[in-house]
Homo-oligomer: A and B are copies of this chain.
C-alpha cells in the first residue's frame, strides 16, 4: 500500500545503471547550472536600490556605479574560477579546493559556508519567485508564505523523483527568460533613445539618512548576490561533455557575459525610469510596466522571471545533497546522507534542505528582502577560500605560466575577501550575524561527528569473529489474547529456542487463575508466567521482568518475541500493534534486549 502510494508520487524505482550521468553540452549546461546565477538579475538590482533609496533621490544616483562595480567583480570571479576549472577537471568545489590546498579546517569552513548558502539559495529563490508572481497577481500577496512552502515541497518531490537527469527540461525556461528579458531591455532602450525618458512611475521618497561611503558599500554588498551560480559550474565539471574543462570554462565565461549584460541592462533601465524598490513589483516588473505595460511581452517576462527564480532553487537541491554525501563518505556528516533513494537521488539531503528552507521561509515571513542579508555572506567566504586555495595550489604546482595564473587567482582572492568583509560589516546587524554564528557551529558539528565515528569504529573493531556460542536464548512472549497472532509468535519462539516463557499480566488473582486455566486448555506445552499488574499495565512490568532476567545473567541477551498483525488495507494499520509498538519503544536501545517481530497477515 505504502509502496503504491510512493510509486505514484515518485515514479517507478530506477536501476542504478541510470545513474550514469548524461553529459552536458554548453547550451544545456547553462540551463543546468546557470539558473542560480541568471535569476539574480531579478533581485540583485532591487537590493542595490533598497539601500540607496535611504538617501532619497541623491542616493539613487549611485545606482549605475554600484552596478558597474558588481559587473567588474563578476568578471574577476569568472576569470579566477576559469582557472580552477582547468586545474580541477574532476570538480573544483570550494570544499575540495580549500581542503586540498589549505587544510581540513579551511575545507570544512568552506563546506559550512556553502551549506548555509545552499539553504539561503532555496529560500531566496523561492520567495523572490513568489514575489514576482505577486507582482502580476496581487491577490496572492496575502498567501505568500503558503505559496513559498508549497513550491519548496514541490521542488522536494520533483527532486526525490530524480529530475536531475531530466534537468534538460530546464533549458526551455532558461532561454525564454534570457530571450524575453533581452528583448524587453533592447525594446526599452530603443524607446528611451527614440522617445526620451518616460514619466516616472514612482516618486523617490525623502532621504532618511545621508549619502555616505558606507551606504554605497552596503548597496554594493546587497547587489553582490548576483554571482552565486559561478561555484556551481566549478563544482560540476565532470558533468560536461569532453573536453570537460574547456566546455565548463567556456560555459562559465558565456554565462558571465550574459549575466553581466542582463544585470547592467536591468540596473541601467531601472536607473533611467527611477525605479523604486518595492515588495510588490521588482525592478524588472517596473521596467515592463513602464515600457511594455500589459503587453504579452510584459507577461512573458514576468512568468519567465518567476519560473526561473523558482527553478534556481534547484541548484541547491542538486548541490547540497551532493556536498552532504561527499562529506558523509569522509565521516564529516551523518552517514545516511550518502544513501541514494528509490530514484537514485540523495533523498535525505533533499528532504533536509527542503525542510530547513521551509522553516527559514516561515520564520522570515516569506520576505526576500529580509532573507538577503543572510545570503551573500556564505558565497563570498567560499569564493575567498577557494581562490586562496588556488594561490597555494600554484605555489606548489608550478605548471606553465603559473605566475600569471596565481596572479589572477590572487586578485580573485583579495577582491572576494574584501567583498566578504564589506558584506559582513554592512549586513551584520541585518541578519548576517546569524550566518556568522551558524558557520562555526556547523564546523564544530562536523568535528564532533568525525570524532564520534572514529571512536565508534575503533571501539567496534575486533581482530576476528569469536567462536559463536550455540546456547539457548531466553525468550519471553507477552500474551494477552489466545489467538492466531499469539500462536505465530509462540511457534516462532519455540523454533529458535527451547527456553520459551509466555508472560501474562493479570489485574488480580482471580483473573490470573481464570487465564491460567484457559491457557492450560489452549497451550499446555508452553509454560506461562503470571505477573501481577493491578492497574492493567503491560509495558513497565515487562521492562522490570526483562531487567530482572538480565541481572541473573548480564552477558546473555533476553529476547522478546512480539506478533505483528499486518492488515490488508493501509488505513487499518493504525488500528493494530499498539501494544507491540509501546513495548518496542520502551525496549528500544536497551542493551541486552533483542526484540523480534513476527508478522501475522490478515486476509481480509
* B residues less than 8 Å from A196 (CB atoms): none
Residues of A within 8 A of B (CB-CB), count: 87
Given A535-B19, A566-B591, CB of A578 within 8 Å of CB of B335 = yes
Q: How far is the CA of A471 from the CA of B492 in the complex (A)?
A: 9
Q: Is the interface of A mostly helix, strand, loop or mixed?
A: mixed
B495 pairs with A602, CB closer than 8 A: no
Q: A41-49, A106-114, A261-269, A520-528: which lies at the B interface?
A: A520-528
Q: How far is the CA of A487 from the CA of B463 in the complex (A)?
A: 11
B491 pairs with A469, CB closer than 8 A: yes
* B residues less than 8 Å from A15 (CB atoms): 535
Q: A213-221, A303-311, A375-383, A452-460: which lies at the B interface?
A: A452-460
Residue A567 contacts which of B452, B472, B498, B564 (CB distance < 8 angstroms)? B452
Residue A456 contacts which of B537, B598, B599, B602 (CB distance < 8 angstroms)? B602
* B residues less than 8 Å from A326 (CB atoms): none
* B residues less than 8 Å from A591 (CB atoms): 566, 599, 601
* Interface presence of A512 (CB below 8 A): no
* Interface presence of A23 (CB below 8 A): no
A595 pairs with B594, CB closer than 8 A: no
* Interface presence of A351 (CB below 8 A): no
* Interface presence of A69 (CB below 8 A): no
**Which chain A residues numbered 87 to 142 have a C-beta less than 8 Å away from chain B?**
none
Given A487-B466, A602-B456, A604-B459, CB of A535 within 8 Å of CB of B16 = yes
Given A339-B578, A594-B599, CB of A484 within 8 Å of CB of B497 = no
* B residues less than 8 Å from A579 (CB atoms): 339
Residue A334 contacts which of B334, B484, B578 (CB distance < 8 angstroms)? B578
Closest residue on chain B to residue A603 by CB atoms: B459
In this complex, the member of A456, A576, A592, A604 whose beta carbon has the largest number of chain B beta carbons within 10 angstroms is A456
With A470-B495, A473-B495 already in contact, 16 other A-B pairs whose C-beta atoms are closer than 8 Å: A2-B589, A16-B535, A339-B578, A453-B575, A459-B484, A459-B603, A460-B483, A462-B483, A464-B523, A465-B486, A465-B487, A465-B525, A470-B494, A470-B498, A557-B598, A594-B596
Interface residues of A (CB under 8 A from B): 2, 13, 15-17, 19, 334-336, 339-340, 449, 452-453, 455-457, 459-462, 464-473, 481-487, 490-492, 494-498, 521-523, 525-526, 534-537, 540, 557, 559, 564-567, 572-576, 578-579, 581-582, 589-604
Interface CB pairs A-B, < 8 A, 8: A334-B575, A460-B483, A460-B602, A464-B522, A492-B557, A496-B497, A566-B591, A592-B599
